[in-house]
Structure 1
Amino acid sequence: MKKLLGSLQISPIYLGVIFTFAYLESIRARVTPGQTINWYILTPEAAAGTLVKAILIAFILRFAFKRYYGVLEFPIRKNAAFSAFGLGLTAYLLVSNGMAMVISILFGTWERNFTDQILLSVNFSYLLDFIVYGGFYLTYLLFQEYKNHQQKLAAYELALSDSRFAQLKQQLNPHFLFNNLNVLDQLIEENPKSASLFLQNFAELYRYPLEKSNSKLVSLSEEVEFAKAYFSLMSEKYGQSYLMEIDSAIPSGKVPPLTLQLLIENAVLHNFGTPEQPVILSVKMTDKLEVSNNRIPFIKPKHQGGKGLQNLSGQYELLSDQPIEIIQTEDKFTVKLPLIPINE
């Protein structure tokens, strides 16, 4: 029984509310004007029977919604909801009438119980039961789904803020800032043309996150341009120890801001590249954004990692019905992200 209730997402509180409602309704139905109040009016057997009926209705509705939805989710689609409710009602009437037929045959009461008038009144009662207790069940389920949806939204906002804070913290890190300023100082003396390009990329590194700080999604083309600017700065620091190969054809689609920077940074933080054995990042774009790199892990890892990818996964749970894929082998690490349509 516990397993059945769990599959229906029914809690003891819900059962208690239904039983209380059914019990009060049974008392109200038994009380007529001028009637003496007695113990029979307060007996709970009718409420217990209604509780069983409510569980049966919940079971049938759950089956009907799985037929149209797969899973019940928020927000609900109206057309599918009406279709599922109609399917559930039909199934409930068939089951209830079937059970009544079996009981009538067993007890020999067919002729008494299956007149046109009784069939009409009984099926009207079944209809009201389904509408009332089916409505309770759907309201309860949608409330649960709404709460889950709100929790996911809160988790998404937290993941987004954590991700942006981490990126901003990295960019404002004094060590990071002074390293780049030292590189710029050297380039001004040795190669003014390269210094100008470096300065443009350095400015982009700060402009882009601030400009996109309130955006949940950015176009892939914008993200690629920023990633190129970011990797250009990394190249000034690490030289040929880290290389990036990126597709020239950029499909339409959106991703969360700073996604590519996160994946590039992830590869640099967790792999020890050298000019003789460089870490090569490959950025491929089809219907998904695929970022991979060969693995050359540090003998003593400097960073535990994982937080950035967890935040990114949390964002995708709400932004797309497709999750990100993380594939790690002995010599390669790959992250695949769905591209979110431009109109979303």
Structure 2
Amino acid sequence: MRKFLTRLDVSPQFLAGIFLFAYLESIRSRVGPGQVINWYVLTPEAAIFTFLEFILLIIILRYSFRAGYGEFVFPIHWFKALRSFLLGMGIFLIVVNLISMGVSLIFDTWERNFSPEILLPNTVSKILEFIVYGGFYLTFLLFKENKKHNQKISSYKLAVSESRFAQLKQQLNPHFLFNNLNILDQLIEENPKTASSFLHNFSELYRYALDKSTTNLVDWQEELEFAKNYHRLIKEKYGSAYQLNLSLEHPKGKIPPLTLQLLIENAVLHNFGTEENPVFIELYIGKNIRVSNNQIPFKNPKHKGGRGLQNLKEQIQMLSVETIVIQQTNENFSVTLPLIPN
């Protein structure tokens, strides 16, 4: 039974509601003006017959939507939906009439059931029945898809929040702060000019992270400037152990804030670069964005990683029809993501 309901894409509560509606409707039709109210009014055979027709209606509608619409998901294509609904109505009328013909031939009631005076009202009644009960079913599907859609939006917001929190936590981490302040202290003694540049990059880094913490998308040019500021800090700390090479085609588009910084940071956290054996970080921005680097893994890795990329992947899935592509070999690691149109 559960498999059958799963195939119909309905819940037991929904079917129970439909049966209750059909039962109350059958009672209403029997208590009209001038009709006698007795125990026959409460008998459920009409509701059972209507309920079985509803099951048939669901099966036909699912077939017609698969044939004329495809997967029933947001955003709804209303013209295709209407066309599929009308296709289902036509099939429903044919099937119901074929069943009625068979029953009429078996019980020899053809003239009574298929006379012009009876056929036209019955057809109109079946059309209205299809519209009402088919409308119930489509409303139920819309409710389910809307619920799924809202869950996706909630997941996206959660992913964004976690990603922003993780990034801000990393940027505002006391160790990160004190390490950079120690570098700044050394530079003030050794090279005041460099110290001034370092302090500028350092302040810009924090200002950008805080300013964009509530923004969904930024121009890639802004993100690139932030990423270059971040790399300058890395360069002050590690020298030429982590080298950034840019390849730009100046396209139009946006990306989630802190994206490039996250990808550069991944290359630094998971690779042991030295000036003799540096990590080369290649950043390409064209029809898409690709950040790649050669791999020099630590003997004892300190960071497991993965959550930042997962959060970014969930954001991109909600903002674009394309997704992130991650490729990894023993020698190279690359992440490709789409530019989101303005």
Q: TM-score, normalised by structure 1?
A: 0.90
Check if 1:50 corresponds to 2:50: yes
Give the match for residue 73 of structure 2. Answer: 73
Give the match for residue 145 of structure 2. Answer: 145
What amino acid maps onto 1:27 in structure 2? Answer: I
User: Kindly tell me: are residues 328 and 122 of structure 1, through their superposed partners in 2, closer, same or farther at Cα, counting changes over 3 Å?
Assistant: farther
Check if 1:64 corresponds to 2:64: yes
User: Kindly tell me: are residues 323 and 40 of structure 1, through their superposed partners in 2, closer, same or farther at Cα, counting changes over 3 Å?
Assistant: farther
User: 1:255 and 1:210 mapped to 2: Cα distance?
Assistant: 17
User: 1:68 and 1:187 mapped to 2: Cα distance?
Assistant: 69
User: Kindly tell me: are residues 338 and 53 of structure 1, through their superposed partners in 2, closer, same or farther at Cα, counting changes over 3 Å?
Assistant: farther
User: 2:48 and 2:31 mapped to 1: Cα distance?
Assistant: 19
RMSD: 2.3
Give the match for residue 186 of structure 1. Answer: 186
User: 2:107 and 2:193 mapped to 1: Cα distance?
Assistant: 100
Cα offset, 1:105, TM superposition:
4.8
Cα offset, 1:100, TM superposition:
3.2
Contact 2:248 2:285 in 1 (8 A): no
* 1:74-113 alignment, distance < 5 Å: 74-105=74-105, 108-113=108-113
Contact 1:220 1:250 in 2 (8 A): no
Give the match for residue 256 of structure 1. Answer: 256
User: Kindly tell me: are residues 6 and 189 of structure 1, through their superposed partners in 2, closer, same or farther at Cα, counting changes over 3 Å?
Assistant: same
Cα offset, 1:40, TM superposition:
2.9
Q: Could you tell me which runs of 5 or more consecutive residues in structure 1 were left unpaired when the two chains were aligned.
A: none
User: Kindly tell me: are residues 175 and 288 of structure 1, through their superposed partners in 2, closer, same or farther at Cα, counting changes over 3 Å?
Assistant: same
Contact 1:254 1:340 in 2 (8 A): yes
User: Kindly tell me: are residues 330 and 91 of structure 1, through their superposed partners in 2, closer, same or farther at Cα, counting changes over 3 Å?
Assistant: farther
Cα offset, 1:234, TM superposition:
1.1
User: 2:161 and 2:252 mapped to 1: Cα distance?
Assistant: 26
Give the match for residue 269 of structure 2. Answer: 269
What amino acid maps onto 1:127 in structure 2? Answer: I
SS at 1:257 equivalent: coil
Cα offset, 1:144, TM superposition:
1.3
Cα offset, 1:94, TM superposition:
2.9
Give the match for residue 133 of structure 2. Answer: 133
User: Kindly tell me: are residues 35 and 99 of structure 1, through their superposed partners in 2, closer, same or farther at Cα, counting changes over 3 Å?
Assistant: closer
Cα offset, 1:37, TM superposition:
3.8
User: 1:104 and 1:51 mapped to 2: Cα distance?
Assistant: 21
Give the match for residue 223 of structure 2. Answer: 223
What amino acid maps onto 2:252 in structure 1? Answer: S
User: Kindly tell me: are residues 88 and 200 of structure 1, through their superposed partners in 2, closer, same or farther at Cα, counting changes over 3 Å?
Assistant: farther
CA deviation profile, 1:9-58 (whole Å, cap 9, x unmatched): 20111111111111111122223445444433222222222222222222
User: 1:317 and 1:91 mapped to 2: Cα distance?
Assistant: 38
Contact 2:279 2:294 in 1 (8 A): yes
User: 1:285 and 1:91 mapped to 2: Cα distance?
Assistant: 52
Contact 1:239 1:275 in 2 (8 A): yes
Cα offset, 1:279, TM superposition:
2.3
User: Kindly tell me: are residues 118 and 218 of structure 1, through their superposed partners in 2, closer, same or farther at Cα, counting changes over 3 Å?
Assistant: same
What amino acid maps onto 2:126 in structure 1? Answer: Y
Contact 2:248 2:286 in 1 (8 A): no
User: Kindly tell me: are residues 310 and 192 of structure 1, through their superposed partners in 2, closer, same or farther at Cα, counting changes over 3 Å?
Assistant: same
Give the match for residue 155 of structure 1. Answer: 155
What amino acid maps onto 1:287 in structure 2? Answer: K
Q: Could you tell me which runs of 5 or more consecutive residues in structure 2 were left unpaired when the two chains were aligned.
A: none
